Amino acid sequence: MCEINLTSFSMELNSLLPKNFKNDIQNIEPDIMVLLDECFELLHEKSGSGEAINVSQIIIDITWEQLNTGHWSEVEDSERQIYALASLLKVVAMVQNVKQEPQEKIREILEAALKVVDMGLLLGSSYTTELNHIANLLNSALYTDEVKDFESSRPTSEVLIKVDTEPLKSLHCPSLETFSAEHFYPRQPVKLIG
């Protein structure tokens, strides 16, 4: 994994949070509104990111149930918007919280955050610009060095494989019996003409 400044990374993600989500999403149930407000408050506290992960996961779980009840076309757009927002909140909280984790767990947590972003993009209906931007940042942080390692490990010269081939036999309108007996069953290739 490439070196990443987690503080500036976290600040960049915080800047992607909506300033007033209540205007963006209509028909938010009161209990979900309370959880969203709590999650936003926790993200602005110095040590609230761990709890913000839990609260955003609760919102994701509740919304997941709504998204998977009935036919997809009948799902309220507000439910999909809430799912995307909760995914965005969870990823920001995960990145804020990763600073408190041991170095060997950082990659695992950032990969899990990328999966949350993917689900938010798949099931959500808003905040796609923000989620796409976060996905790009996480991909760069996680996989840039692997691409460089792969490119440097490729052989510089091409390996040529010698293949012995015979010219393909051609038949003009063979009978079904001839074709079956001489080519189909013995599995001998032939080019049919006409």
**Tens-place pLDDT, residues 41-96:** 998 887 888 999 999 999 999 999 999 988 888 888 999 999 999 999 999 999 98
pLDDT band at residue 24 under the 50/70/90 scheme:
confident
Long-range pairs, 26-32, Cβ under 8 A, ≥24: 26/78, 27/76, 27/78, 28/78, 28/82, 32/59, 32/62, 32/63, 32/82
In this model, does residue 116 exceed pLDDT 70? yes
Token digits of residue 180: 């079956």
Find the mean pLDDT for residues 85-109.
88
Structure confidence at residue 153 (pLDDT): 53
Average pLDDT over residues 175-183: 89
Q: What is the pTM of this model?
A: 0.70
More confident residue, 33 or 141: 33
Higher pLDDT: 65 or 9? It is 65
Angle between helix axes 128-153 and 77-98 (nearest 10 degrees) is: 50
With beta carbons less than 8 A apart as the criterion, state whether 190 and 168 touch: yes
C-alpha 70, offset from chain centre: 25
* Closest alpha carbon to 4 in 110, 130, 148: 110
Residue 183, Cβ neighbours under 10 Å: how many? 16
DSSP assignment of 4-29, as one string? --HHHHHHHHHHTS-S-HHHH--S--
pLDDT value at position 188? Answer: 87
d(CA 138, CA 113): 8
CA distance linking residue 83 with residue 61, whole number of Å: 9
